[in-house]
């Protein structure tokens, strides 16, 4: 029997993943406890996004070997929607546009799916209206975004902000942010970061995948891991990010070679 209080929220053991027959992750080990923020940094092509997407269950990412336990449960055996309903959330690097799908309808379906999984009733339209309104003001995004079709015709920054709104609505226990900072100007970066900070609490965790140290000025990580060529080659505290920013990824590459 799994004791949720003691076991880590997420435990990745020797994870190997390939995409289109090319192996990208070559044995990743990572443990994330509730209340922690982990930053996964690394150069382009190192496998950061692959890690985030495999955890969310993206179909074209096939797990070759290894194990992922989420609250002690085999995460890899679950469909993407079942992972989401259990509290895992992936903020996409490139959020999809859903032409003609109203944000309201989409968000309500998502929230209700999770509630249903938890044995709760679906929200009434009125309850949901209020919930949405609260979250929109909590993460400080333009209410107009929540009235439009999901991401349709949104700018890159608007899409990223919309991801944070969805995250706020779904109140995940484990949030994976896949390069949420990329393509954001400084104002958008601040809004997105503040949104994430507001959602942090002792019972949830954030895994933040990023190329740049910049976002870590706003969201302070407890741990920084450097991913190179499909493996975590170095782990440390927030200082490691600054060191990386200063010395560049070549420094790490040289160190590990």
Task: Closer to other proteins by CB, 98 or 233: give it.
Answer: 98
Task: Closer to other proteins by CB, 114 or 161: give it.
Answer: 114
Please give the residue ranges that form the binding site for other proteins (CB under 8 A): 56-60, 79-81, 83-85, 89-90, 92, 95-101, 105-106, 109-110, 113-114, 117, 149, 166, 170
Kindly give the pairing relationship between strand 205-210 and strand 223-228: unpaired
Distance of CA 253 to the CA centre of its chain: 26
Joined together, the tokens standing for residue 64 give 């070759």
Task: Closer to other proteins by CB, 70 or 92: give it.
Answer: 92
C-beta separation of 141 from 155 below 8 A:
no
The minimum distance between CB 101 and other proteins, in angstroms, equals 4
Task: Closer to other proteins by CB, 65 or 116: give it.
Answer: 116
The minimum distance between CB 27 and other proteins, in angstroms, equals 25
- For 64-126, give the secondary structure using H, E and C: EEEEEEECCEEHHHCCHHHHHHCCEEEECCCCCCCCCCEHHHHHHHHHHHHHHHCCCCCCCHH
Task: Closer to other proteins by CB, 80 or 183: give it.
Answer: 80
Cα–Cα distance measured from residue 149 to residue 100, given in angstroms and rounded to the nearest whole number: 6
Joined together, the tokens standing for residue 89 give 């959330």
């Amino acid at each position: 029997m799994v004791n949720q209080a003691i076991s880590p929220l997420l435990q990745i053991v020797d994870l190997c993943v390939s995409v289109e027959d090319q192996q990208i992750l070559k044995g990743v080990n990572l443990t994330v406890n509730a209340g922690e923020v982990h930053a996964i940094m690394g150069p382009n092509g190192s496998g950061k996004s692959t890690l985030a997407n495999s955890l969310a269950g993206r179909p074209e990412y096939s797990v070759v070997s290894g194990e992922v336990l989420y609250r002690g449960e085999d995460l890899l055996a679950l469909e993407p929607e079942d992972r989401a309903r259990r509290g895992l959330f992936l903020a996409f690097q490139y959020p999809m546009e859903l032409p003609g799908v109203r944000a309201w309808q989409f968000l309500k379906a998502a929230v209700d799916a999770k509630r249903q999984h938890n044995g709760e009733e679906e929200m009434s339209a009125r309850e949901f209206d209020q919930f949405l309104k609260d979250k929109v003001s909590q993460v400080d995004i333009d209410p107009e975004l929540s009235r439009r079709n999901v991401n349709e015709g949104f700018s890159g920054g608007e899409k990223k902000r919309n991801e944070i709104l969805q995250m706020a609505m779904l109140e995940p226990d484990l949030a994976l942010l896949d390069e949420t900072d990329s393509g954001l100007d400084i104002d958008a970066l601040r809004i997105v970061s503040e949104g994430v900070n507001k959602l942090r609490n002792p019972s949830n965790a954030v895994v933040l995948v990023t190329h740049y140290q910049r976002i870590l000025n706003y969201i302070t990580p407890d741990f920084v891991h450097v991913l190179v060529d499909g493996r975590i080659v170095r782990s440390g505290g927030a200082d490691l990010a600054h060191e990386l920013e200063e010395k560049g990824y070549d420094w790490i590459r040289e160190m590990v070679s």
